[in-house]
């Protein structure tokens, strides 16, 4: 199991808002594939998959405000 977390952002930016998911639970993903688009007051960016596998659980939803280091999703590796 691999957790997808919100990475460190620009200096002074501690949180981001979930814009939308590029994939759905149960979808097969490749390492580096964009999973979710996030937005701050300064930028919009995608969070990539840290591993190949299956997205088994999205823990945040569109419109949620997420802090740096918070878990966004869980991926079952090796599918």
Q: What is the pLDDT of residue 77?
A: 95
Q: Terminus-to-terminus CA distance in the chain, angstroms?
A: 11
Least confident range of 9-13, 16-20, 55-59 = 9-13
List domains and CATH numbers for the chain. Answer: 2-77 (2.40.50.100)
Q: What is the pLDDT of residue 9?
A: 84
In whole angstroms, give the CA distance from residue 35 to residue 1.
16
The predicted model gives 3-32 an average pLDDT of 94
Contacts for 73 with CB less than 8 Å, ≥ 6 apart: 3, 4, 35, 36, 55, 57, 58, 59, 60
Q: What is the pLDDT of residue 42?
A: 86
What pTM did the predictor assign? 0.90
**Cα dihedral 10, 12, 15, 20 sign:** negative
């Amino acid at each position: 199991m691999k957790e997808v977390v919100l990475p460190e952002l620009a200096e002074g930016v501690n949180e981001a808002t979930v814009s939308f998911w590029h994939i759905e639970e149960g979808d097969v993903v490749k390492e580096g594939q964009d999973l979710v688009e996030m937005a701050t007051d300064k930028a919009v960016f995608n969070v990539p998959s840290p591993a190949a596998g299956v997205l088994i659980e999205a823990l945040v939803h569109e419109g949620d405000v997420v802090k740096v280091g918070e878990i966004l999703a869980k991926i079952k590796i090796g599918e």
